[in-house]
């Protein structure tokens, strides 16, 4: 294969190529969502006229940058590159032109939506901040515009200096998702012109690696950089320009490690309250612990193995929400370190091995019990009832597995003693028979089974002694035998004895989990219902 064509120095027909340069962001004429990066400009052997080689973001091209044995550029995949006539590509429009298109022509309800980001499960997550104004009607007077959504309009430049400031002086939220912005100097110019701007969404813009020269963005409180290709080293530079940042979204950037400089921990971000690191490649809790800075002489206790950080650092004081869904986190013991974040109440761990019982992770009730301050877990509110139920089940689980080994319990379950005392849970006492005190057979749990299903009919409750290793699936089979349930598939619930009559017992839906894994202890009550 012949050598690469970097560019063509002389070209008598290059007048139609003056708008294009290698590295430039473009979109297909007539389809502003088909975006790519210019990789080559010039002639293609065997074809007349001028061509632009484009590497498409969506991977839908025709080749890898080579054609007929000649390589012109390197595309990111085998079929993401193609050659396009210059007249079929757009280099974009200015921000002011986009405003004219969006708000002085017919717009749709979706175009006038409030600013949002996508979660790891591709759901819309509204960005909220104090005093947010919504667009109630399509505004033709730009001086009244406070929220602008200009997603996928091909915005590539700010326009004339100072022009935007006079046209939309009161703009507070700006959504530029999926445009052609790539240079940080353009971002700085936008923020400089829009003095009222507090929220900026740059998702799905491939941003340049060089952030140097970015001015102080003193009013920006919310910055969304999802799927922009940003790395943590750039975040370290960027934070110098964001003294007031409260919400920072960094989803989908393939972040595998947090590498602060020059210290071993992340510093700054004094007012950060939400950090979104979902859908990245973080696998080591040590990286999460780097999101910390010493703010007092008192160090919170961190899990075993993090002594060096424990002595010197404490996490952000104002961080309330940490979104870590869709990463590769699987360190079960280190989850307790999140208790060291003093204000952290909203945590998302979904789509991580640590939160998937099917991959050896922890059940929700264990996560709730171990995370003492959490109020929202994986997007669902933790009610006082769920917290109490989870903590009691967790204590019994630990008691049944570790058999009262104080040193091992303190090392692996830091909250155990605190929860055991708080809920007044006593150690299991030996049962008393006719011949006096007798210990229960080793590894056996005494459980009571009560039928509550309408089709099952009235059945006398049964008390059985079963091995602690019995799985939920096996217990269902035993219930079919105990109660002679021929055509009924049982559905099991754990009923805490302190809450008899509770309408919300805990569903036992993991057939592979053992009795102790789901928090069933000695003298527990299991409700036997029927599958609907």
Q: Quick one: pLDDT at residue 222?
A: 96
Q: How many domains does the chain fold into?
A: 4
Q: What is the mean pLDDT of the chain?
A: 80
CB atoms within 10 A of CB 304: 14
Position 306 in a domain: no
Residues 371 and 404 reside in one and the same domain? no
Q: What is the CATH number of the domain that holds 479?
A: 3.10.20.90
**According to DSSP H, which parts of 168-255 are helical?**
184-193, 232-238
Residues 269 and 148 reside in one and the same domain? yes
Residues 193 and 269 reside in one and the same domain? yes
Identify whether the C-beta of residue 86 lies closer than 8 Å to the C-beta of residue 19. Answer: yes
Q: Which two tokens stand for residue 327?
A: 């990463």
Q: Pick the last residue of a domain from 66, 90, 114.
A: 90
Residues 70 and 211 reside in one and the same domain? no
Owner of token pair 């007031």: 244
CB atoms within 10 A of CB 483: 19
Residues 241 and 320 reside in one and the same domain? yes
Residue 317 falls in which region: left (phi positive, over 0), alpha (psi -120 to 50) or beta: alpha
Identify whether the C-beta of residue 324 lies closer than 8 Å to the C-beta of residue 367. Answer: no
Listed in sequence order, the residues at least 6 apart from 504 whose beta carbon sits closer than 8 Å to its beta carbon are 385
381 versus 314: which is more confidently predicted?
381
> Average of pLDDT values for 244-269?
82
Position 433 in a domain: no
Bridge pairing between strands 147-149 and 47-56: unpaired
Give residue 149's pLDDT band: very low, low, confident or very high (50, 70, 90): very high
Residue of 472, 359, 471 lying closest to 349 (CA atoms): 359
Residues 182 and 277 reside in one and the same domain? yes
pLDDT tens figures, 192-250: 999 999 999 999 999 999 987 788 999 999 999 999 999 998 998 898 899 999 999 99
Most confident of 99-113, 207-221, 284-298: 207-221
Residues 323 and 369 reside in one and the same domain? yes
What domain range includes position 412?
Answer: 388-423
Residues 148 and 213 reside in one and the same domain? yes
Q: Which of 70-74, 137-141, 193-197, 309-313 comes out lowest in average pLDDT?
A: 309-313
Q: Which two tokens stand for residue 240?
A: 């110098």
Q: Which two tokens stand for residue 91?
A: 């280099």
Position 186 in a domain: yes
CA distance 370 to 374: 9
* Alpha-carbon torsion, ordered 409, 411, 417, 423, to 10 deg: -80
Q: What is the CATH number of the domain that holds 78?
A: 2.30.30.190
Beta bridge partners of 47: 44
Torsion sign across C-alpha atoms 94, 96, 97, 103 = positive
DSSP annotation of 280 reads S
Position 435 in a domain: no
Position 439 in a domain: no
Position 522 in a domain: yes
Residue of 65, 73, 66 lying closest to 22 (CA atoms): 73
Q: Quick one: pLDDT at residue 176?
A: 97
> Average of pLDDT values for 84-88?
95
Looking at the chain, the whole-number percentage of residues with pLDDT higher than 90 is 46
For the entire predicted model, the pTM comes to 0.75
Residues 159 and 285 reside in one and the same domain? yes
Give residue 178's pLDDT band: very low, low, confident or very high (50, 70, 90): very high
Q: Does residue 78 surpass a pLDDT of 90?
A: yes
> Average of pLDDT values for 271-282?
92
CA distance 227 to 178: 10
CA distance 288 to 270: 17
Owner of token pair 């939309």: 168
pLDDT tens figures, 29-74: 999 999 999 999 999 999 999 999 999 999 999 999 999 999 999 9
Q: Pick the last residue of a domain from 65, 90, 115.
A: 90
Listed in sequence order, the residues at least 6 apart from 150 whose beta carbon sits closer than 8 Å to its beta carbon are 95, 98, 99, 102, 174, 175, 176, 179
CA 148 to chain CA centroid, nearest Å: 25
Residue 379 falls in which region: left (phi positive, over 0), alpha (psi -120 to 50) or beta: left
Position 242 in a domain: yes
Identify whether the C-beta of residue 200 lies closer than 8 Å to the C-beta of residue 177. Answer: no
Residues 399 and 494 reside in one and the same domain? no
Distances (CA, A) of 423 to 387, 418, 475: 11, 9, 28
End-to-end CA distance of the chain: 65
CA distance 209 to 212: 9
Q: Does residue 13 surpass a pLDDT of 70?
A: no
DSSP characters for 350-386? TTSGGG-GGGT---HHHHHHH-TT-SEETTEE--HHH
Q: Does residue 496 surpass a pLDDT of 80?
A: no
CA distance 164 to 143: 10
Residues 362 and 272 reside in one and the same domain? yes
CB atoms within 10 A of CB 306: 19
Bridge pairing between strands 247-249 and 274-276: parallel
Owner of token pair 């919504």: 134
500 versus 425: which is more confidently predicted?
425
> Average of pLDDT values for 336-359?
87
Residues 162 and 218 reside in one and the same domain? yes
Looking at the chain, the whole-number percentage of residues with pLDDT higher than 70 is 77
Beta bridge partners of 27: 35, 90
Residue of 224, 260, 255, 220 lying closest to 241 (CA atoms): 220
Position 302 in a domain: no
């Amino acid at each position: 294969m012949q050598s690469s064509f970097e560019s063509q120095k002389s070209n008598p027909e290059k007048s139609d190529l003056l708008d294009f340069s290698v590295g430039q962001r473009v979109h297909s004429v007539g389809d502003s969502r088909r975006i790519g990066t210019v990789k080559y400009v010039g002639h293609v052997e065997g074809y007349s006229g001028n061509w632009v080689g484009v590497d498409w973001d969506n991977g839908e091209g025709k080749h890898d940058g080579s054609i007929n044995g000649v390589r012109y550029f390197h595309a990111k995949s085998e079929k993401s590159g193609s050659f396009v006539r210059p007249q079929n590509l757009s280099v974009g429009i200015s921000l002011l032109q986009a405003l004219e298109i969006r708000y002085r022509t017919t717009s749709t309800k979706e175009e006038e939506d409030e600013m949002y980001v996508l979660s790891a499960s591709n759901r819309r997550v509204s960005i909220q901040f104090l005093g947010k104004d919504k667009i109630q009607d399509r505004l033709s007077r730009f001086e009244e515009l406070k929220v602008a959504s200009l997603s996928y309009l091909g915005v590539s430049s700010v326009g004339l200096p100072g022009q935007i400031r006079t046209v939309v002086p009161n703009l507070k939220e700006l959504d530029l998702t999926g445009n052609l912005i790539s240079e940080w100097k353009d971002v700085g110019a936008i923020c400089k012109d829009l003095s009222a701007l507090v929220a900026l969404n740059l998702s799905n813009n491939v941003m340049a690696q060089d952030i140097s020269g970015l001015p102080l963005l003193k009013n920006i409180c919310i910055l969304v950089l999802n799927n922009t290709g940003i790395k943590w080293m750039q975040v370290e530079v960027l934070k110098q320009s964001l003294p007031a940042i409260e919400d920072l979204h960094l989803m989908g950037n393939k972040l595998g490690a947090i590498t602060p400089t020059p210290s071993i921990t992340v510093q700054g971000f004094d007012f950060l309250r939400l950090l979104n690191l979902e859908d990245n490649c973080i696998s080591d809790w040590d990286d999460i612990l780097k999101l910390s800075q010493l703010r007092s002489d008192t160090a919170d206790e961190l899990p075993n193995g993090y002594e060096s950080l424990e002595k010197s650092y404490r996490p952000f004081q104002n961080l309330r929400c940490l979104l870590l869904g869709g990463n590769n986190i699987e360190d079960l013991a280190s989850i307790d370190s999140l208790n060291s974040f003093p204000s952290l109440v909203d945590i998302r761990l979904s789509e991580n091995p640590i939160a998937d019982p099917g991959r050896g992770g922890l059940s929700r009730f264990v996560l709730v019990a171990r995370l003492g301050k959490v109020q929202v877990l994986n997007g669902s509110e933790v009610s006082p009832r769920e917290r109490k139920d989870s903590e009691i089940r967790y204590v019994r689980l630990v008691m049944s597995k570790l058999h009262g080994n104080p040193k091992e319990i303190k090392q692996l379950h830091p909250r155990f003693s605190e929860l055991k005392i708080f809920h007044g849970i006593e150690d299991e006492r030996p049962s008393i028979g006719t011949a006096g005190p007798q210990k229960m057979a080793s590894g056996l749990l005494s459980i009571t089974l009560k039928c509550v299903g309408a089709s099952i009919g009235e059945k006398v409750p049964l008390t059985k002694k079963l091995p602690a290793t019995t799985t939920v699936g096996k217990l269902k089979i035993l219930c079919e035998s105990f109660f002679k349930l021929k055509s009924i598939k049982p559905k099991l619930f754990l009923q805490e004895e302190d809450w008899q009559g509770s309408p919300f017992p805990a569903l036992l839906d993991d057939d592979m989990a053992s009795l102790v894994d789901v928090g069933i202890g000695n003298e527990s009550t299991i409700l036997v219902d029927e599958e609907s």
